């Protein structure tokens, strides 16, 4: 059995309509294995929606196990929680992913290796061409002694919000990412950490980087909005296709940053007006069809 691990914390975050698109689109791909959501401060009606409507397993976060007992630090400490959760599990393959900005188009586990592996998704360009990633990396390496600093200018930009692998390899990578976030007082992201680590891991044969230029595994809205991958994709039939391979990408991350967000929300059964409906809609567990709560007249 495979598993998908993600996090959704806080009342506002959990009531965002985009979160439901993650689960609904995933179910529509035919995925039938485990979906585990680490959460805190999720209202009971949303818990019922996810567990009864989508078969999600919720794991309540023990705030004493993360820094300062503050759920707002979950976006760093989630990797520690994932590691601990996987210690006594026997899943075959595990996907670590962001939640509310991922639109699944096909089953992301299709055609994955049977032996030990790690798949990483690239944004479609190199570090030097991204001011945000460059600044993030500078903060991550700020407190390192010169002997351990590395020039990543020509290295591909890896997306820390979506990576997959065999269970033990993912378990170990999660602990490594988390431990590396502790070595500095600077404010930087797990993406900077993953990109730094890859400098040392890239010669390990179990690691494979999927670029949207060559692979249909994942594409990001960030890459599209900056023009890095616009030529590699084509929107048709409410799916984003890899133009050369003529197949839909398995996952469309950060879809809400692109002009396709309206079509995706409508396809998923949501009302979209001039002012988006703020309430989290309910779902019929048997059919997964959206039932509107209350539409506001525009």
Does 1-105 carry CATH code 3.20.20.140?
no
pLDDT attached to residue 280: 39
Q: Please answer whether residues 123 and 222 qualify as being in contact, where contact means their C-beta atoms are separated by less than 8 angstroms.
A: yes
Nearest to 244 by CA among 255, 253, 231, 260: 231
218-220 and 233-236 beta bridge pairing: unpaired
Q: What's the average model confidence in pLDDT over 90-106?
A: 96
- Looking at residue 243, what is its pLDDT? 96
Q: Report pLDDT for 70.
A: 63
> Is-contact 2 33, C-beta < 8 A?
yes
Phi/psi at 57 (nearest 5 deg)?
Answer: -95, 120
For the entire predicted model, the pTM comes to: 0.88
Residue 288: pLDDT band (50, 70, 90) is: very low
- Work out the pLDDT band at 275, boundaries 50, 70, 90: low
C-alpha closest to that of 191 among 93, 282, 123: 123
Q: Which of the four pLDDT bands, split at 50, 70 and 90, describes residue 293?
A: very low
Confidence of residue 184 (pLDDT cuts 50, 70, 90): confident
Q: Is 249's pLDDT higher than 90? A: yes
Mean pLDDT of 189-208: 96
Instruction: Report the pLDDT averaged over residues 254-266.
Output: 93
Could you give the CA distance from residue 216 to residue 109 in angstroms, rounded to a whole number?
Answer: 12
Average pLDDT value over all residues in the chain:
88
Any idea which of 53-67, 106-120, 241-255 has the lowest mean pLDDT? 53-67
C-alpha 101/C-alpha 161 separation (Å) is 10
* Ramachandran category for residue 37: left, alpha or beta (phi over 0 → left; psi -120 to 50 → alpha): beta
**Distance between CA 152 and CA 166 in Å, rounded?**
27
CA distance linking residue 250 with residue 165, whole number of Å: 15
Candidates 172, 166, 242; CA nearest to 201 is: 172
pLDDT at 53: 92
CA distance 268 to 105: 12
What lies within 8 Å, CB to CB, of 161 at 6+ separation is: 97, 98, 101, 102, 191, 253
Asked if 61 and 38 count as a contact pair (C-beta separation under 8 A), the reply is yes
Residue owning tokens 């991204």: 130
Q: Within a 13 Å sphere around the CA of 49, how many CA atoms are in the beta-carbon half? A: 21
């Amino acid at each position: 059995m495979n598993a998908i691990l993600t996090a959704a914390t806080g009342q506002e975050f959990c009531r965002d309509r985009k979160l439901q698109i993650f689960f609904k689109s995933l179910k529509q791909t035919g995925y039938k294995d485990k979906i585990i959501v680490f959460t805190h401060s999720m209202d009971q009606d949303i818990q019922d929606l996810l567990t009864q409507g989508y078969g999600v397993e919720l794991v309540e976060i023990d705030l004493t196990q993360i820094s300062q007992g503050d759920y707002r630090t979950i976006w760093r400490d989630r990797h520690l929680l994932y590691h601990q959760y996987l210690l006594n599990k026997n899943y075959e393959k595990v996907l670590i992913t962001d939640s509310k900005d991922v639109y699944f188009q096909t089953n992301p586990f299709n055609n994955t290796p049977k032996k030990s592996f790690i798949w990483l998704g690239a944004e479609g360009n190199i570090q030097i061409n991204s001011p945000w990633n460059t600044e993030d990396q500078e903060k991550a390496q700020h407190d390192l002694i010169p002997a351990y600093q590395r020039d990543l200018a020509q290295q591909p930009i890896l997306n820390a919000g979506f990576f997959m692998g065999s269970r033990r390899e993912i378990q170990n990578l999660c602990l490594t990412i988390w431990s590396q976030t502790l070595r500095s007082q600077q404010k930087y992201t797990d993406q900077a950490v993953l990109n730094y680590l890859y400098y040392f891991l890239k010669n390990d044969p179990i690691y494979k980087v999927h670029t949207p230029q060559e692979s249909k595994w994942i594409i990001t809205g960030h890459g599209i909005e900056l023009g890095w991958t616009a030529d590699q994709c084509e929107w048709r039939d409410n799916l984003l296709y890899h133009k050369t391979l003529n197949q839909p990408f398995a996952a469309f991350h950060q879809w809400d940053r692109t002009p396709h967000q309206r079509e995706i929300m409508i396809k998923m059964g949501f009302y979209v007006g001039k002012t988006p409906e703020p309430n989290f809609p309910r779902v019929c567990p048997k059919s997964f069809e959206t039932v509107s709560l209350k539409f506001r007249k525009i």
